Copies of this chain bind each other. A is one copy, B any other.
Amino acid sequence: MTAHVYKITEVVGSSTISMEDAIKTAVHEASQTLRHLRWFEVTETRGHINEGVVAHWQVTLKIGFTMEPEGANK
């Protein structure tokens, strides 16, 4: 078995809908420039408040990915 190396990038996704949607937005955006995304880990959950209600959900993620074209399963 070959030795895999994963890289980790850190992004903040935001959404007006939900925490899951903020995460999906971040993963989608990351997938535009990076291929072979494998996993994520939430490191911070924040949000903005406007006029007394939650205006944005902001979730910070670490996303792991690999350069290898195939089959690295973590």
Instruction: Determine whether the beta carbon of A45 is less than 8 Å from that of B52.
Output: no
Q: Which residues of B contact A64 (CB under 8 A)?
A: 12
Option from B6, B23, B46 in Cβ contact (under 8 Å) with A47: B23
**How far apart are the CA atoms of A15 and B3 in the complex, in Å?**
5
Give the number of times this chain occurs in the complex, counting copies: 12
Do most interface residues of chain A lie in helix, strand or loop, or is the interface mixed? strand
- A residues 1-36 near B (Cβ < 8 Å) are 1, 3-16, 18-31
Name the distance in Å between A11's Cβ and chain B's nearest Cβ. 5
**How far apart are the CA atoms of A19 and B60 in the complex, in Å?**
15
Instruction: Determine whether the beta carbon of A39 is less than 8 Å from that of B44.
Output: no
**How far apart are the CA atoms of A36 and B45 in the complex, in Å?**
20
